[in-house]
């Protein structure tokens, strides 16, 4: 009896003395082993035959997800939405969209995932709502007594340049999905314009201005009642889902909530405040930023932030060739993971080393294989399993937290000609249904082919889970193997050290060391079609190749060792331990 009471008394004492459970400096402990799987819910598994994925569908595939060796999920938005931006235009943050099921289905998903050791993170669209959200509809009426009156930003005048952006948008082929400019002409009595964040249907929530201009009364200070109420609402949304058992949020457009904040000091302060709240009330829940600048977002309070398609050029330099949709805006003609061997890694190494040095004791850099906003790994001339194995070897052995985008484990293609649905534009090619088995709907749905959310194409059944589970040489097998290693080999863990051993100006091969106090791995990747080699300081013990794709040889020397690599190859060596 006495024993059972002791922890309760201790907790009561700590609460009374104001001492909270101390989360580690790196946030929830489980992140040190986390490997994420990202699901775009409309495309993963349909359970009711309407051609659109849903929560019961995801639940039915949890055993598969667990079998991959991942241990956390991030789901793109599942809340009631207007579906003009793939769920990022939310009507009700507290309700699961009927197309996916109910709030009870979400609780069941959380329970079933937890039973399998999988954490569940949702998407927090913090910056905007749908224009059909009740908050916006009430705010638009100009009723000063509405609770939501100041939830949005309502200018009476905007600059000539912003008016021109509106004109260009309206003149474009698809005004509703044109992101130009910051304002929309308001058809409501409230004011002449409202501020938007992305598409016209996504009015920006009012977190205030870092430097409000008194001559523009709609620019409120972050401390004003409206912006403070919006902050409270954001916490309410988080608490609502945390209390249902979710394990964290990926925060959409996390850096842009406060307006006119050039050095981001006001937005950093906002997240520091959220972090303190999280640490006090939900220390086991993760905050993951869509910011793409870990050096800033992690000190601001996030546990994880990504390297990806925007902000720093390092990630684009690895994967985006000029002749692919994401690469058409990239400063690089060829990506590093192009077999022509004309890519570079210095930009990635510079960006990554800096962010890693600044954040490794405080949080994690997330490395996605792709996501719902940019092309999959299998895009352009990177279209063979051996190339994908090399890229996966890199992505799944770097420090930080890997995010496997659904379908990348079987090498699903980015579908260049996918139709634009629900505001996807060219992102549709990364949002096509998961390919489970051969057949016209790839096992995703029992619907007729023309009712599918987006078309599927399985390369005659080869690009399916079913086919790859039957083939030990498949990408799926290799990915499962790498994820098992990541879990079992300490030197490949999220927190283990990382040092580049090769010369960043001689990019092929790239060789790095991963290590803990008593475990060492050497990883080498050669995405190019040429045979290459690199010298590294002689290792103190023999090595064993624990993962390999293509031809590779390790040659020991007196002062330097040599890794000789055939075309398009990768290897993970582990030092034998005494």
Residue nearest to ligand NOJ (CB): 88
Query: CB neighbours (10 Å) of residue 63?
Result: 10
Rg for the chain (alpha carbons), in Å?
25
Residues in Cβ contact with 58 at an 8 Å cutoff, skipping those fewer than 6 apart? 39, 41, 44, 45, 75, 109
Q: From the CB of 79, what's the least distance to ligand NOJ, in Å?
A: 12
> For ligand NOJ, which is the closer residue by CB, 123 or 561?
123
Residue 354 CB, nearest distance to ligand NOJ (Å)? 24
Q: Considering the complex, what minimum distance in angstroms separates the CB of residue 85 from ligand NOJ?
A: 5
Q: Which residues contact 33 (CB under 8 A, 6 or more apart)?
A: 71, 487, 493, 494
Instruction: Return d(Cα 567, Cα 507) in angstroms, integer.
Output: 14
Q: Which two tokens stand for residue 359?
A: 């954040």
* Residue whose CB is less far from ligand NOJ, 125 or 452: 125
Between CA 507 and CA 335 the distance in angstroms is 11
Q: Tell me how far, at minimum, the Cβ of 77 lies from ligand NOJ, in Å.
A: 9
- The residues that bridge with 553 in the sheet, in sequence order, are 564
Nearest approach in angstroms of CB 290 to ligand NOJ is 6
For ligand NOJ, the closer of residues 35 and 125 by Cβ is: 125
- Residue 120's alpha-carbon distances to 90, 107, 246, 408, 565, in angstroms, are 20, 10, 5, 19, 39
Q: How far apart are CA 107 and CA 403, in angstroms?
A: 23
**Which pair of tokens denotes residue 174?**
């698809």
**Closer to ligand NOJ by Cβ: residue 127 or 433:** 127
How far is it, in rounded angstroms, from Cα 389 to Cα 309?
A: 21
CA–CA dist 310, 530 (Å, integer): 30
Closer residue to ligand NOJ in complex, CB, 264/372 = 372
Nearer to ligand NOJ, 38 or 335 (CB): 38
CB of 232 to ligand NOJ, least distance (A): 21
Q: What Cα–Cα distance (Å) separates residue 15 from each residue in 10, 43, 275, 341?
A: 9, 45, 19, 59
Shortest gap between Cβ of 199 and ligand NOJ (angstroms)?
8
- Chain centroid to Cα 461, Å, comes to 28
Which helix or strand (DSSP H or E) is residue 575 part of? strand 569-575
209: nearest Cα among 159, 260, 255:
260
Q: How far is CA 44 from the centre of its chain?
A: 16
Q: Which is nearer to ligand NOJ, 86 or 402 (CB)?
A: 86
Q: How far apart are CA 188 and CA 248, in angstroms?
A: 36
- In the complex, which residues of this chain contact ligand NOJ (CB under 6 A)? 85-86, 88, 125, 198, 252-253, 290, 372-373
The closest of 458, 478, 459, 476 to 468, measured between CA atoms, is 476
- DSSP β-ladder status, 286-289 and 248-251: parallel
Q: What is the DSSP string of 421-488?
A: -TT-GGGGGG-PPP--SSSTTTTS-SS-GGGSSS----TTTTSSHHHHHT-TTSHHHHHHHHHHHHHH
Angle of CA points 532, 410, 376, to nearest 5°: 75
Based on CB atoms, which residue is closest to ligand NOJ, 247 or 252?
252
Strands 79-81 and 72-75, bridge-based pairing: unpaired
Q: How far is the CB of 406 from ligand NOJ (least distance, A)?
A: 15
Q: State in angstroms the smallest separation of the CB of 254 from ligand NOJ.
A: 10
Q: Please, which residue, 376 or 481, has the CB nearer to ligand NOJ?
A: 376
Q: How far is the CB of 557 from ligand NOJ (least distance, A)?
A: 48
Shortest separation between residue 393's beta carbon and ligand NOJ, angstroms: 27
Give the residue with the Cβ less far from ligand NOJ, 90 or 120.
Answer: 90
Between 74 and 198, name the residue whose CB sits nearer to ligand NOJ.
198
Question: Cα–Cα distance between 257 and 251 in angstroms, integer?
Answer: 11
The backbone torsions φ and ψ at residue 167, rounded to the nearest 5 degrees and listed phi first, read -60, -45
Residue 506 CB, nearest approach to ligand NOJ (Å): 36
Q: In whole angstroms, give the CA distance from residue 124 to residue 522.
A: 37
Instruction: Give whichever of 365 and 571 is closer to ligand NOJ, judged by the CB atom.
Output: 365
């Amino acid at each position: 009896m006495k024993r059972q009471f002791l922890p309760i008394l201790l907790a009561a004492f700590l609460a009374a003395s104001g001492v909270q459970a101390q989360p580690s400096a790196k946030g929830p402990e489980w992140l040190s082993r986390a490997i994420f799987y990202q699901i775009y819910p409309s495309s993963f598994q349909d359970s009711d035959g309407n051609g659109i994925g849903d929560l019961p569908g995801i639940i039915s595939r949890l055993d598969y997800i667990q079998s991959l060796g991942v241990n956390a999920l991030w789901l793109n938005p599942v809340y009631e939405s207007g579906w003009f931006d793939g769920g990022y235009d939310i009507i009700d943050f507290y309700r699961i969209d009927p197309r996916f099921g109910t709030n009870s289905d979400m609780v069941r998903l959380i329970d079933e995932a937890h039973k399998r050791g999988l954490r569940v993170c949702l998407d927090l669209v913090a910056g905007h709502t749908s224009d059909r959200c009740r908050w916006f509809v009430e705010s638009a009426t100009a009723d000063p007594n509405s609770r939501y009156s100041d939830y949005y930003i309502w200018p009476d005048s905007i600059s000539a340049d912003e008016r021109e952006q509106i004109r260009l948008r309206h003149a474009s082929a698809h005004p509703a999905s044109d992101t130009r400019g910051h304002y929309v002409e308001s058809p409501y009595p409230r004011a002449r314009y409202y501020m938007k964040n992305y598409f016209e249907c996504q009015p920006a929530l009012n977190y205030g201005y870092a430097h409000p201009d008194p001559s523009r009364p709609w620019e409120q200070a972050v401390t004003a009642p409206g912006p403070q109420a919006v902050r409270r609402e954001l916490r309410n949304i988080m608490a609502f889902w945390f209390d249902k058992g979710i394990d964290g949020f990926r925060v959409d457009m996390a850096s842009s909530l406060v307006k006119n904040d050039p050095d981001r000091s006001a937005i950093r302060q906002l997240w520091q405040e959220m972090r303190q709240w999280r640490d006090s009330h939900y220390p086991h829940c993760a905050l993951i930023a869509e910011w793409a600048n870990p050096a800033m977002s992690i000190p601001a309070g996030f546990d994880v932030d990504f390297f990806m398609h925007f902000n720093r050029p390092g990630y684009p330099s690895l994967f985006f060739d000029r002749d692919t949709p994401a690469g058409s805006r990239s400063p690089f003609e060829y990506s590093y993971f192009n077999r022509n061997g004309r890519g570079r890694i210095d930009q990635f190494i510079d960006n990554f080393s800096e962010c890693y040095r600044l954040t490794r004791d405080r949080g994690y850099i997330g490395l996605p294989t792709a996501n719902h906003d940019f092309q999959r790994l299998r895009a352009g001339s990177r279209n063979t399993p051996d190339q994908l194995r090399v890229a996966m070897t890199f992505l799944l052995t770097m420090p930080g937290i890997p995010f496997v985008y659904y379908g990348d484990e079987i090498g699903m293609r980015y579908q260049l000609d996918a139709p634009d649905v629900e505001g996807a534009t060219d992102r549709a090619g990364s949002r096509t249904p998961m390919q489970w088995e051969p057949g016209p709907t790839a096992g995703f749905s029992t619907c007729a082919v023309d009712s599918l959310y987006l078309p599927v194409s399985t390369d005659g059944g080869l690009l399916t889970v079913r086919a790859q589970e039957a083939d030990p040489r498949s990408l799926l097998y290799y990915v499962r193997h790498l994820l098992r290693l990541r879990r079992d080999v300490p030197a490949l863990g999220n927190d283990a050290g990382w040092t580049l051993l090769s010369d960043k100006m001689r990019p092929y091969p790239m060789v790095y060391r991963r290590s803990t106090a008593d475990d060492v791995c050497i990883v080498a990747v050669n995405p190019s079609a040429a045979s290459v080699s690199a010298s590294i300081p002689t290792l103190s013990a023999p090595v064993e190749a624990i993962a390999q794709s293509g031809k590779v040889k390790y040659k020991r020397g007196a002062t330097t060792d040599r890794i000789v690599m055939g075309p398009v190859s990768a290897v993970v060596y582990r030092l034998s331990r005494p």
